[in-house]
Amino acid sequence: MTTSEVEVLKASAANVNVIPKEIKMELGRRIVADFHSQTEAQAASDEFNRIFVINKRLPIFQSSKDLWEQSTCEVIANEGLAPSVSEAQRLVKQGSVRLNNERVSDLKLDVGNKRRRRILIQVGKLKFLRVLFK
């Protein structure tokens, strides 16, 4: 990557219509391409997007009313986000579980309540489950 190419990227960052993330992604692709190849750069970019960019079309778990009484740890284990309830509890204690982007600290917290019809459960950085109550 040449100095003039870097200057072009810097100038595009000043444009309000350009998304900074896109500039960073392009810079990352160019750096990988300089050290490896264009094919590997695109593969790395695709893999990054697959892992770290949250897909708006997450799988939706349709729940019946009986899920209202289940704890977050039970739901996490039952839906495969953790191998067991005890592992889900360990993840909660570590601060790795979020419910609607709020960290869960209560091991016995019920997933739903009468006010919420949709929730998003996140376990770690990469596991998500959207629950829609009927």
pLDDT of 66 reads 60
pLDDT of 111 reads 73
Give the list of residues 6+ apart from residue 84 with CB closer than 8 angstroms, or none.
Answer: 77
H/E run at residue 102: strand 102-103
Instruction: Return the domain boundaries, the chain.
Output: 3-52, 60-133
Q: Is the pTM of this model over 0.85?
A: no
Instruction: Name the residue with tokens 């570590």.
Output: 94
122, 123, 127, 131 alpha-carbon torsion, rounded to 10°: -40
* CATH class of segment(s) 60-133: alpha beta
Task: Divide the 134 residues of the chain into consecutive groups of 10 and give the mean pLDDT of each group.
Answer: 83 80 87 93 85 61 63 88 94 92 86 67 85 71
